[in-house]
Structure 1
């Protein structure tokens, strides 16, 4: 498991935003690492909003840390220990680490791996989770989660191809083309189109069930993997009124952070709900 510093962006007030993610080399093993000696960001930590549940493979641009304009040459260091091995991500404001919307889109294979200039002006989805940011529920009871999302500029636009929607399912020839054609970009490609999924950001995901089943937000490139990076996958149309309704059920007591992830295939917007689960 490797924590990743993705880069930084300037803010209008002179401060900076640093972006982080991670790479889990496993395809199946998911890990839980509580905030503390094995999962900390310093200085200023140990808790600076990083996840404690880690899904498989690449999870880029997962959280942000705002740093002051006088940070200078100082570094933030994310330390993560898993399976007995410690890795570090060193975050600084070096010029080479400056990123923009085009870089983010390219890194996630946005718009099918496109390098079109208009992606530099792309706006992230607008996202609103209905209800309180803190909820309570009992073990075994369903918690209803309602989220609204929309793409304010329709960039990148939904279109025919990998990210298309259709009244009819793709025929066998189209599926075979998606499965066996060679990649057209250096990173796994994700089709355009607004989508929203819930994930477990903190807490044991193995004890949480979402209904309906949620599209993956980590880069699973295996065929038929319920992932935007997985062939053959067609991004479904948004629900009526752009209203996503999901139920979460917990099998163990504890405190969980659930995250709504809205994406247009290139940029992401997040909103968290903290859930206290009792018996």
Structure 2
């Protein structure tokens, strides 16, 4: 597991925002690393908003840390220990790490991997989760999550295509062709179109069930993998009134952070709900 420093952006008040993600080299193993000696960001930590549940493969631009304008040459260091191995991400304001919306889009394969200048002015989705930011529920009870999202500028524009539910059922030859076809680019491509998924940001995801199943937010490039980066995936149309309704059920007590992830395929907007689960 490698923590990743994605880059920094300037803010109007002179401060800076640093962006982070991670790369889990596993395709199946998901890891839980509590905040502490094995998962910390210093100075100023150990808790600076990083995840404690780690999905497989690449999870880019997952959280941000605002740093003061006088940070200078100082660094933030994210330390992450998993499977007995410690890795570090070193975040600085070096010029080479400055990014913009087009860089973010390119790194996630947005708009099918496009480099159009229009993506520099792309606006991220607008997202609002209905209800309190802190909820309580009992083990086995369904928690209803309602989120509203919209794409304010339709950049990158949604392309006509079949919804995921109307895609032709796969046959053996088609699956084999997709599984063994060499990649056409170094960065997996994700098609345009507004989408929203819930993930477990903190807490043991194996004990949480979402209904309906959620589209993956990590770059699963395997065929028919319910992922925007997975061929031959088609982004489904948004629900009526751009209202996503999901139920989450927990099998173990504890404190969880669930995250709504809205994306237009190029940029991301997040909102968290903390859930206290009791027996």
- 1:218 corresponds to: 218
**Alignment coverage as a number of residue pairs:** 279
Distance 2:60 2:102 in 1: 14
Matched-pair contact (CA < 8 Å) for 2:216–2:228: yes
Distance apart, 1:124 and its partner CA = 0.3
Distance apart, 1:232 and its partner CA = 1.1
- Structure 1 214/55 Cα, relative in aligned 2: closer, same or farther at 3 Å? same
Unaligned runs of 5+ in 2: none
- Structure 1 254/212 Cα, relative in aligned 2: closer, same or farther at 3 Å? same
Distance 1:165 1:24 in 2: 29
Distance 1:51 1:163 in 2: 31
Matched-pair contact (CA < 8 Å) for 2:175–2:223: no
Q: Does 1:135 align with 2:135?
A: yes
Distance apart, 1:181 and its partner CA = 5.9
Segment of structure 1 superposing worse, 115-124 or 169-178: 169-178
Distance apart, 1:123 and its partner CA = 0.4
TM-superposition CA deviations, 1:241-262 (whole Å, max 9, x none) = 0000000000000000000000
Scaled by the length of structure 1, the TM-score of the pair is 0.95
- Structure 1 22/126 Cα, relative in aligned 2: closer, same or farther at 3 Å? same
Distance apart, 1:23 and its partner CA = 0.3
- Structure 1 168/241 Cα, relative in aligned 2: closer, same or farther at 3 Å? farther
Matched-pair contact (CA < 8 Å) for 1:196–1:261: yes
Matched-pair contact (CA < 8 Å) for 2:127–2:269: yes
Distance apart, 1:175 and its partner CA = 8.2
- Structure 1 84/197 Cα, relative in aligned 2: closer, same or farther at 3 Å? same
- 2:229 corresponds to: 229
Q: CA RMSD in A?
A: 2.2
- 1:83 corresponds to: 83
TM-superposition CA deviations, 1:203-262 (whole Å, max 9, x none) = 000000000000000000001110000011000000000000000000000000000000
Matched-pair contact (CA < 8 Å) for 2:32–2:53: yes
Distance 2:82 2:109 in 1: 27
Matched-pair contact (CA < 8 Å) for 1:17–1:65: yes
1:199-278 aligned at under 5 Å gives the runs 199-278=199-278
Scaled by the length of structure 2, the TM-score of the pair is 0.95
Distance apart, 1:185 and its partner CA = 2.8
Distance 2:169 2:126 in 1: 29
Matched-pair contact (CA < 8 Å) for 2:35–2:47: yes
TM-superposition CA deviations, 1:96-138 (whole Å, max 9, x none) = 0000001000000000111111011100000000000000000
- 1:187 corresponds to: 187
Distance 2:14 2:66 in 1: 11
Matched-pair contact (CA < 8 Å) for 1:26–1:56: yes
TM-superposition CA deviations, 1:134-192 (whole Å, max 9, x none) = 00000000000000000000000011469999798899999888667654432000010
